[in-house]
């Protein structure tokens, strides 16, 4: 049975799915940033090891750039974490609203079923009353 709440439920379900997708994309971006940061750290360790093996090799500029890139990545990770937190808060709100609307729809269905049942019972009662008066 359709209810007046069905359209709102569909809209909230779509919004929730969209938010879930955005959260997944943000989590994926965070994972990629972690991998890039680790790779930069490993490259920096190799550069330090190379400099130890060959004292004439100057890796200070490379190491400074790598450190700057890692700081940039960490700043972006903080931004992504904040975005993800905001998206999760929004998803929680939409999910709560969807649940509330679902409860309203269920209540509407119950009331409608009771109304139909009461109307049917009245019809039956009226028929029996009519039959009694005919006797």
Query: What is the residue extent of each domain of the chain?
Result: 6-134
Structure confidence at residue 133 as a pLDDT band (50, 70, 90): confident
Q: Is the pTM of this model over 0.95?
A: no
Contacts for 15-21 with beta carbons within 8 Å, 24 or more apart?
15/94, 16/91, 16/94, 16/95, 16/98, 19/87, 19/90, 19/91, 19/94, 20/91
Per-residue pLDDT tens digits for 41-86: 999 999 999 888 988 888 899 999 999 999 999 999 999 999 999 9
């Amino acid at each position: 049975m359709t209810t007046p709440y069905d359209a709102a439920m569909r809209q909230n379900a779509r919004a929730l799915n969209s938010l879930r997708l955005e959260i997944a994309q943000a989590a994926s971006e965070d994972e990629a940033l972690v991998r890039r940061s680790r790779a930069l750290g490993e490259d920096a360790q190799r550069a330090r090891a190379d400099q130890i093996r060959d004292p004439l090799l100057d890796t200070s500029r490379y190491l400074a750039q790598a450190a700057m890139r890692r700081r940039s990545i960490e700043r972006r990770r903080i931004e992504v974490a904040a975005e993800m937190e905001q998206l999760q808060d929004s998803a929680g709100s939409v999910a709560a609203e969807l649940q509330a609307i679902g409860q309203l729809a269920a209540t509407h269905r119950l009331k409608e079923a009771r109304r139909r049942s009461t109307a049917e019972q009245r019809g039956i009662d009226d028929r029996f009353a009519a039959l009694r008066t005919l006797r």
